[in-house]
Chain A
């Protein structure tokens, strides 16, 4: 069976979707060899800039480039408008959900979500109960993974509400495309993304503790050996704020200070790129060397804001995912604009029976897992792997959900043998501060192996520049 995929560029081998026509015309007119030269130039520039990520499990300090593909992923304006509205709606509801479950728990009392799913979830943080965060925002930065399937409809695959990464690649990819192919940007109106760091800083400043007029914002990183260190350092630099590690901070009378060359300096907002577990050894993992002892107490005293808040993981957990539509209806009184992927919850007897009977067609995911490690992709698995997974699933059904294998859309991509369709997804970054905002597009990830549906950079994924076309043509340059 050959599944049919929605291709972002082509409707058939010969026909191009209208929003790709200017690009195609430009590409056709290129002298032979130009593209190969430009790709080599991009590779060299990325290496020189050190835009790399560290790979866990390989030799310490190994740094790899994330492959960058020079064919952009283009989104027509009308489609983006729908996506944008849907994303804002979804993230708003998710933030309201978090505020609710850590306070009044209306949605649980109303029976719209089973209380045990939330309260017994490992990601639910009792430490956050009865505590009001500034502006009621928990997930200040959300990276929502979106895919397009069969007939071209969009689905939300995952809401990443903890420490979503990838935005630096979105920005560097754009910079690279403008450097390599400036003429493309002169020909068409491509919505800019470069103001993301400004929006981010505005968002972070907007959620400072009450009474702080000119807040000091910092980015907190686990350190130079973290896989996303480049991004931490990049964002701090672009916002013009300090990049701190846990050891640079200390707490005094429930206030957070950083150690500077001129003595202690007060910190008001921490954009932390460290998981909850490592934030404060006094409360969470006592062996954490990355955190700051006493940070949670200072946070609960309202003396410092953490972005994202502690305990957001319960809202992006795969076991809660099926209820996001309910959240939109419950809190906003609206119908969700974006679709969820149909999901079977293996904790339900009927669902489990169906899943066990259809394993070869389904994707089965661990509910508390992340990063594409603890999952079964039925169609790509061997008989033995399926049977192995069946045993695990039968033993711990409540740890898994299952979804149909989506026919992820494809986009033409440079591969060894030339240009070929490869599966892609999209991660827009949604910022919530005073209001909800996002830059057009996001990060497009591409699965470079033929037939692969796994786009994670740790699993051989690459990235593309993502264009949202604005209506009308660009003014010719004079």
Chain B
């Protein structure tokens, strides 16, 4: 397929996935802020959201203090910077529009309607309708798009590049969420695996799991109390949890093998190498290296793969 077409599809998927993950993250932060706690904890949790996306400068230019409403406005409906849900869904729609003929009618209609509905809502309207309901709506629209894709699309190259974009973005986003949340959370540094976690921690870890729809999964897998180590293990090493890093990278490696061309050998090799650390890695080794350092490396590797994929496939000879 045309490199430019693949490029649009890939970015459509990335922006769409990013909007969904942002909604998940903001939703969790919002839920957590409803649990009683001191003002400093709340402020730092919203600060973390801004830092997670490296938006400290952009935020400071627009707002002089960090409050829940201001951060929500900034991350949801601010159209003056590219990282809000609004801007992501606009970019997803613009990319889709450029290659709408490659999408099935169901997919295009879903993306277009999502955008049309969002475009007409001010932040005040979104806020008064209940911000949680809005996040649910974003997640539902993302699910609808995914469903339309899996249910209607030919398994051709277009499909593969959409999946590739979504999986890379998801791997990046899960790693970032885990990194920021893990270190922003109580008990993460000193916890000893089988320690009982107090009620407040329980809410925090529960919320983190819910942000990747993995709360019930955790229960099912471990049938035990929630400990930070297991949360990290679940989100990093599980092969069968769709938002876990292992699962994402497995998909990336599989797709790169399907779309490989004369230029992509090195990219395939690097992806395979990264995948192997997840496939054959142990949690102990990751903790020994230090979770933060390990996640940092992982996020860098995803960045490297993105650049290489762009050069190999999306720019064109």
Contacts and interface: CB of A to CB of B under 8 A. Distances in A.
Contacts of A258: 2
Interface of A: 47-50, 224, 233-234, 236-237, 242-245, 247-248, 258-264
B1 A242 contact: yes
B101 A243 contact: yes
B157 A261 contact: yes
Contacts of B5: 242-243
Interface residues of B, number: 28
B262 A242 contact: no
Contacts of A49: 105, 108-109, 112
Nearest to B95: A224
Question: Closest 9 A-B residue pairs measured CB to CB?
Answer: A259-B316, A237-B101, A233-B101, A261-B313, A224-B98, A259-B3, A50-B112, A261-B6, A236-B101
Contacts of A47: 116
The DSSP consensus for interface residues of chain B is helix
Interface centre among B2, B161, B313, B314, by most chain A C-beta atoms within 10 angstroms, is B2
A48 B317 contact: no
B262 A248 contact: no
B303 to A, nearest CB: 21
Contact of A242 (B2, B94, B316): B2
Given A48-B112, A259-B317, A261-B161, A244 B101 contact: no
Given A48-B109, A50-B112, A248-B316, A259 B101 contact: no
A260 B1 contact: yes
Given A234-B101, A242-B5, A261-B157, 20 more contacts: A47-B116, A48-B109, A48-B112, A49-B112, A50-B100, A50-B109, A50-B112, A237-B101, A237-B102, A242-B1, A242-B2, A245-B4, A248-B3, A248-B4, A248-B316, A259-B2, A260-B1, A260-B3, A261-B261, A263-B317
Contacts of A50: 97, 100, 108-109, 112
Interface in B151-202: 157, 161
Contacts of B4: 245, 247-248, 259
B317 A233 contact: no
Interface of B: 1-6, 94, 97-102, 105, 108-109, 112-113, 116, 157, 161, 259, 261-262, 313-314, 316-317
B261 A48 contact: no
A248 B112 contact: no
B263 to A, nearest CB: 8
Nearest to B157: A261
B115 to A, nearest CB: 10
Contacts of B161: 261
A244 B6 CA distance: 12
Contacts of A244: 2
Contacts of B317: 259, 263-264
B97 A261 contact: no
Contacts of B6: 261
